[in-house]
Amino acid sequence: MFCPKCGKSEQTPETYCRQCGIYLTDYTKPFKKKIQPEEHLQVNTVLSLMSAVVSLTLAILLHIYFWGKGDTPIIIYITAGFMMAMFFWQAQTFWRTLLLKKHFKKRNINEKSSTEEKNEPRVFVAKPTNELLNEADLSNIVPTSVTENTTKSLDKVRSKKAEESNYQ
């Protein structure tokens, strides 16, 4: 394999070039499939539900085993409180994920029905711009000058020098 940057030959793909250090990608391998958002939602749903159940269970067990015992450290109650907070956070995440999955299903159904009505995929067609824009009116354009408004300050300088030379 040749390096695409420096051209050094006899390189190994999926390594770095021995001359310039650029990463050499192996283009003979197929690219990884990109994961769709719906697949992420499935994993997110399962993980949110599992962590909600675990945190609620741990909070309840902490309260059952240590409630009312005089020698219980305060950190146990703080931990149980954090576990309850984690439960509520994961429960709302689970609920929002379900709503998002429902939204994606509606979107997919609407896209399928709109393409099935036409029996063809949606294609965007560009309109010619000459139909959308009016013809340019160049009759009243005044060309700008490079030296326009640049000599105003010179008149002041000349008049000051003239006054100074008159006094001397």
The per-residue pLDDT for range 41-70, each reduced to its tens digit, is: 888 889 999 999 999 999 999 988 888 788
In a domain, 90, yes or no: yes
Q: Using pLDDT thresholds of 50, 70 and 90, give the confidence band for residue 5.
A: confident
In a domain, 69, yes or no: yes
Domain membership of residue 108 as a residue range: 37-114
Q: Using pLDDT thresholds of 50, 70 and 90, give the confidence band for residue 166.
A: low
Contact 80, 57 (CB under 8 A): no
Cα separation, 32 vs 29, in Å, equals 9
Q: How many residues does the chain have?
A: 168
DSSP structure class, residue 67: T
In a domain, 55, yes or no: yes
Sign of the alpha-carbon torsion through 41, 47, 50, 51: negative
In a domain, 49, yes or no: yes
Residue-level pLDDT at 137: 78
The per-residue pLDDT for range 90-121, each reduced to its tens digit, is: 999 999 988 888 887 877 776 666 555 555 56
Of 82, 49, 76, give the one whose Cα is nearest residue 64: 76
In a domain, 58, yes or no: yes
In a domain, 12, yes or no: no
Of 94, 21, 22, give the one whose Cα is nearest residue 51: 94
Structurally, the chain folds into a number of domains equal to: 1
Of 87, 33, 91, give the one whose Cα is nearest residue 56: 87
Q: Which amino acid is at 16?
A: Y
In a domain, 156, yes or no: no
Contact 13, 1 (CB under 8 A): yes
In a domain, 41, yes or no: yes
Average pLDDT, the chain: 78
